[in-house]
Amino acid sequence: MPKRIAHVIQSFLGGAIIAVVVTVVHGESFPWVLGAGLLVVATFLISLRLLADDRIITIAGCLGLLVTVLILAQRSTGGSVLIAATDAGNVWVIGASILCGLASAWPHIPSNRAR
């Protein structure tokens, strides 16, 4: 049980770190850097889904990613916003949400050990 809790925490923190990095750079060279960021998110979520026997680890990664994106999208005290309401910001928020939904809903793929 402690190992499972550690995996959930690591997955949450991994999603949060990826969200911070991609949020900071998503507006640079609009289609290319954002596409690469969404590819990193998809790879992270697919790897969690394939390597974990449990869906809760993938959901924790999704929660870390989405909670961080939503926190960074809020207007700060000084009035600045990291995720502006531009095409890049909308694609980043909606794309990350869709990828998280797909990864969380994807059916269990049995490993070679289970066969």
What are 33's two structure tokens?
A: 């850097």
69 pLDDT higher than 60:
yes
Instruction: At 53, give phi and psi (nearest 5°).
Output: -80, -10
Neighbours of 86 (CB within 10 A): 12
pLDDT band at 112 (very low <50, low <70, confident <90, very high): low
pLDDT band at 30 (very low <50, low <70, confident <90, very high): confident
Neighbours of 49 (CB within 10 A): 19
Between CA 102 and CA 42, with CA 59 as vertex, the angle to 5 degrees is 45
Alpha-carbon span 18 to 26, nearest angstrom: 12
Q: What is the pLDDT of residue 81?
A: 86
> What average pLDDT does the segment 57-76 reach?
94
109 or 78, greater pLDDT: 78
What is the reported pTM?
0.88
